[in-house]
Amino acid sequence: MKKDVLKISDFGVSRFIERDTLTLTTTTIIFILKTYESDESYWLQFEDTEIMAKMATLLCPAANDPELKIKLFDICLSSSISANRWDALRELFNNIIMKWDNNSITPYSTYRHEHSNHFIDLSKMINVTIPSLVHSYYP
């Protein structure tokens, strides 16, 4: 019997996932990413950054796919910084970054290194200190 497979390279992830293994979390993140990538300027409006940050705080910890988790986090963090949305930045900082431990930070370690400027900007914009655990991965 042929399995029902969803090609998700259209969503920026280049691999196949069996449709029955998709969780609600994964499906929701894929929908958000696809919507965002289709028309970034229309869908993610200035005031939507707080809503996206709240969605990221719910979906990122629950997501099993590290690539989707990082893409959602990146969209939320970079859009919050570029829109100068302090509430969204605080949401991401308090409910994702401050809750990282040695296990949950692992998928983000390369992202932290490649986007260290985002963490510096975040720190300056909302006047917080980035946790030492985050710096320990890539100073």
pLDDT averaged over consecutive 10-residue blocks of the chain (139 residues)? 47 49 76 74 73 92 89 92 93 94 88 91 94 77
Side-chain half-sphere CA neighbours of 74 within 13 A? 20
pLDDT at residue 50 in the model = 92
User: For residues 103 and 97, is the Cβ–Cβ distance under 8 A?
Assistant: no
27-54 burial by CB neighbour count: b if 16+ within 10 A, else e? Answer: ebbbebbeebeeeeeeebeeeebbebbb
pLDDT at residue 14 in the model = 44
Distance of CA 81 to CAs 9, 33, 88, 134, Å?
27, 18, 9, 18
pTM for the whole structure: 0.78
